[in-house]
Chains A and B, each alone.
Chain A
């Protein structure tokens, strides 16, 4: 099992899981590169945990295959898989102390002397001296570390993490994120991390797969996903997006021309997922700038006029809600760079952006339903779905 590369490449081929009539995971094809930090991001019920459980062997796939490097593990019993899991509930053994919890996997495999390995692992997760404590005597963060050590000590080829930080408060969660990243770099094992928290996924992962309704909507680096989302779901689940539903009306060189709410917009063709028919024009709130009048809009920028209906000061930025002329809502984040003047609620403003920041998504067939429920007025001020 010891090789130059401690982590294995994980491949899922047409992996499917049905519960009764419900398809939880739908013909999933996925490759996770060896030794990388991979995040499976999606709302609750999207099938991400089921996928993880199938890799762990705790759930039997209805169809499909699971491969570690070249070895097929689809049919292997869980205890035979070189894969370990950090559970959302931690699932620490209450009748065993910290040391024995961490030693559990090694002892089951009949490793003769576990003391050194367990101590080293407790040290890695910064729990030296906690050997003889019971799980009930530990804080949530410490329990989380024990759960991590208990899985990692077995040197799995792939470590599965199921919402591992979900039960921690925000500060602790941030700290554990950095910790997880450090540990992954140190041990070089392939990490597959399931979460509904987009910030967590982006902070930790080299590659993120956004999952929805049992399928992967988009896979890529956090920057790729954020800068050029493939679907309206990704655009709104990963950060916020203002989406305008419109129709492609033509081409102008390298630009696609879109008409929405009686206005013309253009988007570079390389930023377009679709170049004909019904589309959604997307623009991130922080890519927008606010000015007082149309005359102040820089040349080449595109603009939407409206009235400020809400302003929330958040320290690093101020978030404005703009009601547009056609009744839609626009989110605008203005960075607190020391130069932006506060804009009062009720002021008439013009929001403008450079076309290279906009992106064009499939808007569904005209009259059909778009991928996400889009506000009839056009803008979707949605954030990541799910509890925080």
Chain B
């Protein structure tokens, strides 16, 4: 009796989570792939017929390859900016902040207490044509007198960078926090100047944090549609906006599903490639 129980216990423990994954992840994913292969001639009102319409994929790529390109371009740029901003921030918090460490960490996370939508709208006010940023940039002639920031790629990338910055900072902070300070002393003792200590010891040892932060930023950023929707024009739309429209405006479910699956696959391939390379370098 107790032997049987013991044998079953691990399965019982896995059951709730497993069910959750099956119902809310696996079934929808299967449904999504299935939908992407429905006959595009159908409609929500008349119903769809499963015709294994693999042609939906080339059609979707032909129609929206530019949006794919833009998505990964913006997301890549935003990730690079987040890394440039986030690494020094994480470094200061982890190694230099002393007793302010926890307060600063809360400050990094605090924006997440409000919804992404509200925060993106706030950028609309900050970057408004009559706002302080545009005013200053016009003043110093970095922007033409009629130049604007809103409704431009600059605004979209700014919003993406800002929105996912905490996901970059936190993993880098965690890996720097774990860093054995004695290694930094050893490097200093072994003739390394401060900059050399950073490039040869600190940075390589925080690589896992950089890898995690990059993925956590680039993946949601490439699927984002709120930033482009609120701060850009249709010329700045990303693949998320297209999928959004396919499902909710054009009601072209097969195409929306095909685009979603494509996005998933591209991200998966990029991620695996990136992790492989990262693993090789870390050894």
> Do residues B200 and A79 form an inter-chain contact, with CB atoms below 8 A?
no
Asked if B99 is at the interface of the complex by the 8 Å CB criterion, the answer is no
> Do residues A91 and B192 form an inter-chain contact, with CB atoms below 8 A?
no
> Do residues B191 and A79 form an inter-chain contact, with CB atoms below 8 A?
yes
> Do residues B191 and A109 form an inter-chain contact, with CB atoms below 8 A?
yes
Q: A58 to B192: give the CA distance in the assembly, Å.
A: 13
Most buried by A among B180, B189, B200: B189
Chain A 140-161 per-residue mask, 1 if CB under 8 angstroms from chain B, else 0: 0000000000110010000000
What residues on A are CB-neighbors of B283 within 8 Å?
Answer: 95, 134
Asked if B31 is at the interface of the complex by the 8 Å CB criterion, the answer is no
Q: Determine how close the nearest CB of chain A comes to the CB of B130; give it in whole angstroms.
A: 51
Give residues 36-64 of A contacting B (CB, 8 Å). 56-58
> Do residues B201 and A93 form an inter-chain contact, with CB atoms below 8 A?
yes
Chain B 163-191 per-residue mask, 1 if CB under 8 angstroms from chain A, else 0: 00000000000000000101101111111
> Do residues A84 and B182 form an inter-chain contact, with CB atoms below 8 A?
no
Asked if B43 is at the interface of the complex by the 8 Å CB criterion, the answer is no
> Do residues B205 and A95 form an inter-chain contact, with CB atoms below 8 A?
yes
Closest CB pairs A-B (n = 6)? A91-B186, A105-B190, A108-B191, A91-B182, A78-B188, A108-B192
Q: A134 to B282: give the CA distance in the assembly, Å.
A: 12
Asked if B193 is at the interface of the complex by the 8 Å CB criterion, the answer is yes
Q: Determine how close the nearest CB of chain B comes to the CB of A163; give it in whole angstroms.
A: 13
Other than A83-B189, A91-B186, give 19 A-B pairs with Cβ distance below 8 A: A58-B188, A78-B188, A79-B190, A79-B192, A84-B189, A85-B189, A91-B183, A91-B185, A92-B186, A94-B183, A95-B282, A104-B187, A104-B190, A104-B200, A108-B191, A109-B191, A150-B190, A151-B189, A151-B190
Q: A105 to B201: give the CA distance in the assembly, Å.
A: 12
> Do residues B183 and A79 form an inter-chain contact, with CB atoms below 8 A?
no
Chain A 93-128 per-residue mask, 1 if CB under 8 angstroms from chain B, else 0: 111000000001100110000000000000000000
Most buried by B among A91, A92, A94: A91
What residues on B are CB-neighbors of A57 within 8 Å?
Answer: 188-189
Partner of A79, one of B180, B182, B193: B193
Asked if B233 is at the interface of the complex by the 8 Å CB criterion, the answer is no
Q: Determine how close the nearest CB of chain B comes to the CB of A153; give it in whole angstroms.
A: 9
Q: Determine how close the nearest CB of chain A comes to the CB of B249; give it in whole angstroms.
A: 50
Q: Which residue of A lies closest to B192 (CB)?
A: A108
Q: Which residue of A lies closest to B196 (CB)?
A: A108
Asked if B204 is at the interface of the complex by the 8 Å CB criterion, the answer is yes
Most buried by A among B187, B190, B201, B283: B190
Q: Which residue of A lies closest to B207 (CB)?
A: A95
Q: Determine how close the nearest CB of chain B comes to the CB of A117; give it in whole angstroms.
A: 14
Q: Determine how close the nearest CB of chain A comes to the CB of B254; give it in whole angstroms.
A: 48
> Do residues A56 and B182 form an inter-chain contact, with CB atoms below 8 A?
no
Asked if A357 is at the interface of the complex by the 8 Å CB criterion, the answer is no
Give residues 151-194 of A contacting B (CB, 8 Å). 151, 154
Q: Which residue of B lies closest to A88 (CB)?
A: B182
> Do residues B185 and A108 form an inter-chain contact, with CB atoms below 8 A?
no
Q: Determine how close the nearest CB of chain A comes to the CB of B192; give it in whole angstroms.
A: 5
> Do residues B189 and A93 form an inter-chain contact, with CB atoms below 8 A?
no
Q: Determine how close the nearest CB of chain A comes to the CB of B122; give it in whole angstroms.
A: 41
Known: A95-B205, A104-B200, A108-B200. A89 touches B182 (CB 8 A): yes
What residues on B are CB-neighbors of A154 within 8 Å?
Answer: 190-191
Chain B 189-221 per-residue mask, 1 if CB under 8 angstroms from chain A, else 0: 111110010001100110000000000000000
Asked if A130 is at the interface of the complex by the 8 Å CB criterion, the answer is no
Q: Determine how close the nearest CB of chain A comes to the CB of B222; give it in whole angstroms.
A: 30
Q: A150 to B282: give the CA distance in the assembly, Å.
A: 21
> Do residues A78 and B189 form an inter-chain contact, with CB atoms below 8 A?
yes
Q: Determine how close the nearest CB of chain B comes to the CB of A97; give it in whole angstroms.
A: 8
> Do residues A108 and B193 form an inter-chain contact, with CB atoms below 8 A?
yes
> Do residues A91 and B180 form an inter-chain contact, with CB atoms below 8 A?
yes
> Do residues A84 and B190 form an inter-chain contact, with CB atoms below 8 A?
yes
Q: Determine how close the nearest CB of chain A comes to the CB of B100; give it in whole angstroms.
A: 20
What residues on B are CB-neighbors of A56 within 8 Å?
Answer: 189
Q: List 7 A-B contacts (CB under 8 A).
A: A56-B189, A92-B186, A93-B183, A95-B283, A108-B192, A150-B190, A154-B190
Q: Which residue of B lies closest to A153 (CB)?
A: B190
Q: A154 to B189: give the CA distance in the assembly, Å.
A: 11
